[in-house]
Chains A and B, each alone.
Chain A
Amino acid sequence: MSMRIPVRTLSSCVANLARAKKLSFGDLSKVQLREPIVPTHKNFDVSPDHPLWAFFPEGNKSESALRGSDEVELNSREWTFPELRRKSFEDLHRLWYLTLKERNILAREVRLAEALRYSRTQQHEALDEKLVTVQKRIKQVLLERQVAYERVQTFTEQQQAYLAEFEERYLNAGADEIVSYNEKLVRLQYALFGIQPQLQDYNLEEDINIKFVNGLSYVSNLKLKRYLDRNPNVAKTFELPLNGVVEELPFLLRGVDEAVEEVQALRESGENVKLDKIQVFPFLRSALANAIEQEQQEFQ
């Protein structure tokens, strides 16, 4: 690449850039000197909302950048395991970040102290050790829950045994007991299958899974069995078993009488198609979304 620039171009540039008038300072005796601006932090304002205030113990009200060793508050103790075990994940999550924030403040102060050659930071480190203990315990508590959850997934035999026993009790329950048994069933279907008791609590993406489908089939068959036991007239005409989730879902959303009628109507109209496996989740999601929408409209 050549660097040849025509001289003519340069000279024209010079002509264009040249000042028309000569630069001068005017009358220097009339110029007044201002107070010199001292380079100090007091000369600029920091917004009280500045996010870095979170690195100071009292936020934007902090007086000094570094607490002395007697100002570090060491009176409180760590959270214990039994206390943490009572707390929900959301609480533990919040607690983790509150702890982390305190640790960040301490780390900043110790770093500053190092830079200032200020060596009395033992109190800061003692407090940090307490906070680290809290963080370790939070992790431990969460892991305990996870391990328990993973182990219980292998207890399929016990779960089946309990479901069979509950089925027997439910079918034999008297008319005065059935209300409490229905409440129990709502708790059971949430406990073992994750079927939410309230429609508005559903997270359609996560809650509709293989367990939900299993639970749906258990609950609908249970309710139907009891209903057919009590109503022999219907039992004569009603064909068993229920044909997939399309016929099972009404038992979850409505009362048994209405559900049976709905299933019979479905069968008459020929809409009770047996879905392929791949169609089951999308069908349940859309059907539940419709039901939730309907409920909201009724509520308004």
Chain B
Amino acid sequence: MSWNTAKKRFQRDIESLPTRLREYYQRELNARYTLPTFEGAQLPTIPAPKRKTNVQKGIAPGDLVYITEGEKKGTVTSVFHYNPSNDAVLVANVTEKRITPKTTWVDNQNSHYVDYPKYIPHSSVKLAGKDRDDSGKVSYVVADEIVLKDKYYDDRYRSWLPRRFVKHHDTIEIPWPNPPTAFEDDSLSTPELAVLEKTYELQTIAKPPFPKAALDQLRNPYSRHKKRVLSELQARRLNSPEMPLSTEQKIYLAKQANKPKKVYTNLSEEIKDFIGDKIAQHVNSIKEPAMLAHLEALSKSTIPDFKKTMENIKENEKTQ
């Protein structure tokens, strides 16, 4: 959180690296700073933006799950904890033998070598529901996948929760389990009456909703999006660089500059007659009606260059 930002500036942020590099550094860190006997977490960490809470994953402490992989494959146990940073669950009866350093010993521990709870990936468990029929026989329903739908207020959790259904079986709902410890009011809780008391009502649109000085705290007046001036870097990005000219290009441009400016004038009557004669001669020689129709259509199309030339002629006449 916010309290150790200064320290983080000088750390390598592993989470921002590409997956491969991240794994590499993780392995290196584990190898360098932990003794081989005290192995750290082996499951890869998930970058913070991709993490999901246990509610989003549809799993909660107290749930029954069916283990699909590993030593305890095929058994149904209950969940203790879901770890969002590894997407892993801690379930009952799944442990591993570990050598623990003395600093982590708990009460009544006599040996370094203990059964230690083992995190297993969330992908290797499936949510199970317990069902008891009329004769008292217990059966389990294992959901291959679950979907979260709707929302309802769960008083046990004191929050809004989605409902969990077995995928493609909208009638089979797996309710959320009872929370391991009941939620009770603590010193940070606000009494219900105080929360529900309404102290704001819009009475006037002529006055701002809060003092003017508070607005700067809500909107950053120095935001870079509000700046009307581009920085040098931004300006460079927007404009393409000026390319240097080759020697040939320079010679060509110098020649062009020396040439007299082209003057546009109207065609003389003689030339007009000559062109007209030529075209008439050609058109009269054509016998095919389709070709004539084609030429007729072609004569109606306008050429932008022709328009430009006519404008140039007009300008030229004006200047003269």
Residues of A within 8 A of B (CB): 57, 73, 75-77, 79, 83, 85-91, 93, 102, 107, 110-111, 114, 125, 128-129, 132, 139, 142-143, 145-146, 148-149, 152-153, 190-194, 211, 215
Contact = CB atoms under 8 A, between A and B. Distances in A.
Interface in B201-252: 203-211, 214-215, 217-219
B158 interface: yes
Given A146-B218, A191-B205, A75 B183 contact: yes
B200 A87 contact: yes
Given A143-B219, A145-B210, A128 B205 contact: no
B189 interface: yes
Contacts of A132: 1-2
Contact of A88 (B3, B187, B199, B219): B199
Given A76-B186, A149-B205, A194-B207, A88 B218 contact: no
23 contacts: A75-B185, A75-B186, A76-B189, A77-B159, A79-B190, A86-B197, A87-B199, A88-B199, A88-B200, A89-B210, A107-B1, A107-B3, A110-B4, A132-B2, A139-B217, A146-B208, A146-B209, A146-B210, A149-B205, A149-B209, A191-B204, A191-B205, A192-B206
B293 interface: no
A145 B205 CA distance: 10
Contacts, number: 92
Interface string B168-208: 00000000000000011111111000011111100111111
The secondary-structure label for the interface of chain A is helix
Contact of A110 (B3, B159, B214): B3
The secondary-structure label for the interface of chain B is loop
A45 B275 CA distance: 115
Pick the 4 closest A-B CB pairs, nearest first.
Answer: A194-B206, A73-B186, A145-B209, A76-B189
Q: Which of B3, B211, B218 has the most CB of A within 10 A?
A: B3
A76 B188 contact: yes
Contacts of A89: 200, 209-211, 214
Q: Give the interface size bracket for B toward A.
A: 20 to 34
Nearest to B208: A149
A93 B1 CA distance: 23
Given A89-B209, A129-B1, A192-B206, A77 B199 contact: no
B225 to A, nearest CB: 16
A152 to B, nearest CB: 5
Contact of A75 (B189, B199, B217): B189
B206 A193 contact: yes
B86 to A, nearest CB: 14
A190 B209 CA distance: 14
A142 B210 contact: yes
B301 to A, nearest CB: 49
Contacts of A85: 200
A192 B189 CA distance: 39
Interface string B150-175: 00000000110000000000000000
Contact of B204 (A88, A129, A146, A190): A190
A144 to B, nearest CB: 9
B179 to A, nearest CB: 10
A207 B200 CA distance: 20
Contacts of A191: 203-206
A148 B210 CA distance: 12
B226 to A, nearest CB: 15
Given A142-B214, A149-B209, A191-B204, A75 B184 contact: yes
B203 A190 contact: yes
A143 B210 contact: no
Q: Which of B158, B205, B211 has the most CB of A within 10 A?
A: B205
Interface in B100-150: none
Interface in B49-83: none
B51 to A, nearest CB: 12
Contacts of B217: 139
A86 B199 contact: yes
A132 B1 CA distance: 9
A90 B209 CA distance: 11
Nearest to B158: A77
Nearest to A150: B208
Q: Which of B183, B200, B203, B219 has the most CB of A within 10 A?
A: B200
